[in-house]
Amino acid sequence: MSTPTLWTIPVQPKGKPIRAAAVIGGVPFKLPDAYTHYNDNLKPPFLGKFPHEKIPAWEDGDFLLFEWSAIARYVASKAPNSNLLGSTPEEAAQVDQWIHLAESEVDIYTVLTNHVCNGKISGYSKPAHTYFLEKQLRALKTLDAHLAKHTFFVGERITLADLSIAAFIQFGVGVSIDASVRAQLPHLIRHLETIVNQPQLKEIYGPINYTEKGVQFVPPKKEKAPAPPKEKKAEEKKPKKKEVEDDDADEPDVPPEPKVKNPLDDLPKSTFNLEDWKRAYSNKDTRGAGGSIEWFYQNFDAEGFSIYRVDFKYNEELTQTFMSSNQIGGFFNRLEASRKYLFGSVGVLGQTNDSVISGVLILRGQDVAPVVNVAPDWESYKYEKIDLKDEKQKAFFEGALAWDLELDGKKWVDGKNNDVEERLVRPLPSYVTNSFYAKHCVDALDGNGDGGNEEDEASAPEEAKLHQETKRVVKAR
């Protein structure tokens, strides 16, 4: 019997609780040999098993599992005598309770703070940054207050809650939980030190890198005009001091590639502005008078742009519809280099084990290849130019835009658009429309996550207004 493989990397916070649970429970596993994140997880061998592209992932023969919490619970359940999931149904529920709180109200704000300060979410906003930190502190104090009376989160022994929360806090104290915040959390920091210094867990968690000051946004410096060249004797360049390696699993150190001019930039100027179209599509109803389709027909330049139907070639390999939707998202991600030349609306039609992927691309020029060949898997799709004078093809185009397309009895289940969420007529900062933050806000307003109570809304009317606008944007996509 082969040993299961846990696809993760040593610095990944959400991989640590899984590894720790396996070690405590005596569950055998191995890490992949020579795995490079953002490289191997985008290749067919990995995508064939895990189309979502993410780690951690668990592989045990034909049994495949993704999402860290599902893997962690599965591994913990393989060792029932370890107490990792508690010893009673009540304790098991408490384990889930603490993990959910820490992930949804501590870890999420660590990530958002890191991203908004480091430019991953464009359009820095001080009020948003402050909001993230305040919400995180509220949850941190809840955790700390519980630990003031308890050694561990559930019962008298280490559970999966302790392993998970320690990983989240270890990540947080290096980003947003700085010295001034830690001074308010003596019991939580004591708990962190207790877990990571367990003899069998030291190698998994590694050292704690405490930051004195939380991550801050630093505005980019404006480039000065170059000084006139002076004739100087060539000086030998001194080697630069090697920068400290970044432990963020999502930011591998890759040298910048030399910029190459895209031949699409040499095409004659077009009257059709793709960015204006994306804004119209985001903010208008798709069909009907004044809708985005009407806007498109009024402004489209058939000489400078073309429309293509796109179909996945291997629909017989599709299984769960949500996995197919994730595949579309991954395809659009890999088309990032062509973002300014492309708009796409592609969806999944049908049902589990009987579905197809189909949709449309609006792109610069008349040839599809220069736009889509930046994606390694572009040849997995078939492309046919659409003639809007043909009523059948025109109906297909409009159905893909409106997400009500139907093919051979298969109805539209889910869809993706590329590069639309951040392009809005309303002057909202782009962090509001980032799908990660926006989904969290929508869940909160629906009562499915943080902040969904009336007391919070009443105490912060501007915040509530911002969230309502976020919800409008996300629901209308």
Say which CATH topology domain 271-417 has. Alpha-Beta Plaits (3.30.70)
pLDDT higher at 275 or 433: 275
Q: Report pLDDT digits (tens) over 386-400.
A: 999 999 999 999 999
Instruction: Return the CATH fold of 89-205.
Output: Glutathione S-transferase Yfyf (Class Pi); Chain A, domain 2 (1.20.1050)
pLDDT, average across residues 128-154: 95
Dmax of the chain from CA atoms? 80
Backbone torsions φ then ψ of 370, nearest 5 degrees: -60, -20
Residue 381 clears pLDDT 90, i.e. is over it: yes
Residue 440 has pLDDT above 90, yes or no: no
* For range 111-119, the mean pLDDT: 90
pLDDT above 70 coverage of the chain, percent: 79
Single out the residue of 109, 112, 134 nearest to residue 121, CA to CA: 112
Domain limits, the chain: 5-82, 89-205, 271-417, 430-475
Report residue 221's pLDDT band, with 50, 70 and 90 as the boundaries: low
Q: What is the pLDDT of residue 121?
A: 81
- pLDDT-derived band at 450 (thresholds 50, 70, 90) equals very low
User: CA-to-CA distance for 451 and 182, rounded, in angstroms?
Assistant: 23
Confidence (pLDDT) at 284: 87
Mean pLDDT calculated for residue range 170-199 = 95
Q: How much is the pTM? A: 0.51
pLDDT (tens digit, 9 = 90+) per residue, 330-355? 889 888 888 889 999 999 999 989 99
Contact status, residue 295 vs residue 284, Cβ threshold 8 Å: yes
| pLDDT 10s digits, 350-373 | 998 999 999 999 999 999 999 998
Asked whether the CA dihedral 252, 254, 259, 263 is positive or negative, the reply is: negative
327 pLDDT exceeds 80?
yes
CA distance 179 to 181: 5
Q: pLDDT of 407-422, one tens digit each?
A: 999 999 999 998 764 3
Mean pLDDT in residue range 222-239: 56
For residue 339, the model assigns a pLDDT of: 87
64 beta partners: 59
- Note whether 171 and 110 are within 8 A (CB): yes
The whole-chain average pLDDT of the chain stands at 82
Average pLDDT for 130-143: 95
5-82 CATH: 3.40.30.10
Least confident window among 155-169, 245-259, 339-353, 363-377: 245-259
CB 42 within 8 A of CB 335: no
